[in-house]
Amino acid sequence: MLTLSRWKVAAVILSVIFGIVFSLPNVLPQKTLDALPGWVPHQKLNLGLDLQGGSYLLYEVDTDALRAERLTNMVEDVRSTLRNDQIEFSELGEAGGVVRVRITDPAKVDQAVSLLRRSIGGQLQGTVTGRDTTVTNRGGGQLELAFVPEAAKADAAKAVTQSIETIRRRIDALGTKEPTITRQGSNRIVIQAAGESDPARLQAVVGQTAKLTFQMVDETVSQEDMVAGRIPPGVIVIPGTQPGEPPIPVAKRALVTGEDLVNANQEFDQNGAPAVGFRFGGAGARKFGDATTRNVGKRFAIVLDGKYISAPRINQPLPGGSGIITGNFTPESAAELALLLRSGALPAKLNLEEQRTVGAELGADAVKAGAISLAIGAAAMFVFIILAYGLFGVFAALALVVNVLLIIGIMSMTQATLTFPGIAGLILTLAVAVDANVLIYERMRDEAAAGRSPMSAADTGFRRAMVSIMDANITSLISAAIMFGFGSGPIKGFAWTLSIGVFTSVFTAIIITQVLIGWWFKTAKPKKLPIA
């Protein structure tokens, strides 16, 4: 086992070169690094929020508002479905999470039930009917529609997942490097943006729902009707985005939504004022073209998060699926709105629960403290292993140095985020690596005390210690996997560093130490082990 096979020597040389090359950018000045050729690795360790400073935001997805919106849409779906089939009804409304409607013609009750069961709601696996909505006949023409319990859970889970994806696209567009966006519990989202010192800027982009809809203006409703509250069914009154703008009545059901947008950019209108250009793709372009063709001469409102930006008149059909949104924009607000529209709307409102800002100075102090703690821990281990095992301790110390280089090199290459708990994982990794060497060397002592020759004692020590070393490291790897799978933020950082360290520790403690000891046996030809 102590033979200096070529593959072991090559593995040691390549690991040392890899560790040095990929760790070096972390100690070079930026100017020097920029001057190096392009083929030289330039990636540095990606420091986490606690080491670099930045912003921490905790949001809660408003699943209650999402459910209320779905119930409102269900009311409008019931209204349009029954009207299209000329089934007369009354008392349509929602209360207590249930939509109720009365069919006035008893002869058409069964037809209405069958029609609504086919038309309302969507498919949902795991339910008895396979649909997410139930339609119940309560007698006397009274029908009740409600979501099955599984639908609410599925909607909430989907909303959180979609919100995370949308938030990531928005933050990436800001240029913030390596944001950490994770789910916390069932309906909370944690955002850690290292290096982003302005949480207000982050909130403005992350927290806005950015739900864009195009809704027809109901010009039969006058200002007097709105003031008196005489609003017909299927119509809502929405305010403008600017103070002092009069509210307007619009159809509840949107003609087209921003979900079909494929692009949005900051542009300028014919008067040179900032505006937002948009373009639909595929089905969205067809819907937008059909809607503008059917409603030439009428006004439609461009609505963002429940407030209208503008309400222009449709002078001609727009079959191309593109247009421009004008309003009281500045170049900055137009660019921000375009970014939000490109990233997609959030499926539900986000409520800010917690906000923290970590200053760059505090992050620098954490880096300094982490470096000092790592240096002290490493020095203590070096002193211990050298005092305990002499020359073999020096070999173990050299293997530890390579171990650190490999961990830093791998994390730099993969752009994994190093957090303060990650530094703790790095120190723990060194301790585990020392432990492997202690097991090997103590086993060598036992074999030498039993009368084996130095070469035989060393070879047997490596072979028989392997079982204990593998057991210990596999256990650590399982623990790290559990922490990585169920933890979040700093816990994941600790688990990731520990996982990398498990593999590098086994390699350096066994292969590198083995090659160094084998080389020593070949050159010194000892008659006694230095640790016996």
8 A C-beta contact, residue 299 and residue 313: yes
Report which of 196, 199, 174 is spatially closest to residue 48, judged by C-alpha positions: 196
Report which of 291, 271, 320 is spatially closest to residue 217, judged by C-alpha positions: 291
Residue 329 clears pLDDT 60, i.e. is over it? yes
Overall pTM surpassing 0.85 (yes/no): no
| pLDDT value, residue 126 | 58
| Main-chain phi, psi angles of 360, to 5 degrees | -65, -35
Q: Is 368 exposed, middle or buried (0-12, 13-18, 19+ CB in 10 A)?
A: exposed
| pLDDT value, residue 185 | 81
Residue 103 clears pLDDT 90, i.e. is over it? yes
**Residue range 444-462: mean pLDDT, rounded:** 86
Rounded-to-integer distance, Cα 251 and Cα 189, Å: 33
| pLDDT value, residue 129 | 62
pLDDT in tens, 383-400: 888 888 889 989 989 998
Rounded-to-integer distance, Cα 258 and Cα 247, Å: 22
| pLDDT value, residue 17 | 92
Residue 532 clears pLDDT 60, i.e. is over it? no
pLDDT in tens, 411-450: 888 877 777 777 777 777 777 788 888 888 888 888 888 8
DSSP state of 255: S
**Residue range 28-52: mean pLDDT, rounded:** 77
Please measure the distance between the N-terminal and C-terminal CA atoms of the chain and give it in whole angstroms.
20
| pLDDT value, residue 101 | 92
Residue 357 clears pLDDT 90, i.e. is over it? no
pLDDT in tens, 211-262: 888 888 988 888 888 888 888 888 899 988 878 788 999 988 887 887 778 7
Residue 80 clears pLDDT 90, i.e. is over it? no
Written as one string, the DSSP assignment of 63-101 is: HHHHHHHHHHHHHHHHHHHHHHTT--EEEEEEETTEEEE
| pLDDT value, residue 156 | 83
**Residue range 74-96: mean pLDDT, rounded:** 88
| pLDDT value, residue 494 | 77
Report which of 438, 378, 368 is spatially closest to residue 404, judged by C-alpha positions: 378
Among 44-48, 270-274, 366-370, which range has the highest average pLDDT? 270-274
Return the number of other C-beta atoms located less than 10 Å from residue 443's C-beta. Answer: 20
- Quickly state the pLDDT bin for 349 (edges 50, 70, 90): confident
Is the four-CA dihedral 9, 10, 14, 15 of positive or negative sign? negative
- Quickly state the pLDDT bin for 153 (edges 50, 70, 90): confident
Q: Please tell me the least confidently modeled range out of 42-46, 173-177, 316-320.
A: 173-177
For 105, 166, 321, the CA distances from 212, given in Å and listed in that order, are 39, 14, 15
Q: Which of left, alpha, beta for 357 (phi over 0: left; psi -120 to 50: alpha)?
A: beta
| pLDDT value, residue 14 | 92
| pLDDT value, residue 271 | 83
| pLDDT value, residue 249 | 92
pLDDT in tens, 12-36: 899 999 989 888 888 788 788 777 7
| pLDDT value, residue 531 | 77
User: What percentage of the chain has pLDDT greater than the value 90?
Assistant: 5
One-letter-per-residue 3-state SS of 33-65: HHHCCCCCCCCCCEECHHHHCEEEEEEEECHHH
| pLDDT value, residue 142 | 92
